[in-house]
């Protein structure tokens, strides 16, 4: 059975959201892993790095939740 045009569009969107979520999770983990106080890095810098990584993890969660909703809607149709 051939796929409809909208199904192909939604499948591409699902793949894009999964990749975007994975990239933001990788960046957030890399930033959080490097956060430490040293001679050149102050406590305020570390707090900013952790806040940026938290925002990126939030974006990851939103992407993956939206992907789950899209997949559920595709399966129901």
CA dihedral 70→75→76→77, nearest 10 degrees, is 90
Rounded to whole angstroms, the Cα distance separating 22 from 49 reads 19
| Angle 37-60-12 from CA coordinates, rounded to 5° | 145
Rounded percentage of the chain residues whose pLDDT exceeds 70: 95
Q: How confident is the model at residue 2 (pLDDT cuts 50, 70, 90)?
A: low
In a domain, 34, yes or no: yes
The mean per-residue pLDDT over the stretch 12-36 comes to 94
Q: What is the mean pLDDT of the chain?
A: 90
The parent domain of residue 11 ranges over 5-72
Residue 14 lies in a domain: yes
Number of structural domains the chain divides into: 1
- Residue 76: pLDDT over 60: yes
**Is pLDDT at 17 greater than 60 in this prediction?**
yes
pLDDT (tens digit, 9 = 90+) per residue, 34-69?
888 888 989 999 999 999 999 999 999 999 999 999
Picking from 20, 16, 6, the residue whose alpha carbon sits closest to that of residue 74 is: 6
What is d(CA 51, CA 8) in angstroms, rounded to the nearest whole number? 36
77 is a domain residue? no
Within a domain: 29 = yes
**What secondary structure letter does DSSP report for 1?**
-
């Amino acid at each position: 059975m051939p796929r409809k045009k909208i199904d192909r569009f939604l499948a591409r969107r699902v793949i894009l959201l999964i990749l975007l979520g994975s990239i933001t999770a990788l960046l957030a983990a890399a930033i959080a892993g490097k956060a430490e106080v040293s001679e050149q890095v102050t406590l305020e810098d570390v707090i900013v790095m952790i806040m940026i990584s938290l925002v990126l993890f939030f974006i990851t969660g939103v992407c993956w939740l939206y992907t789950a909703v899209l997949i559920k809607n595709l399966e129901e149709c």
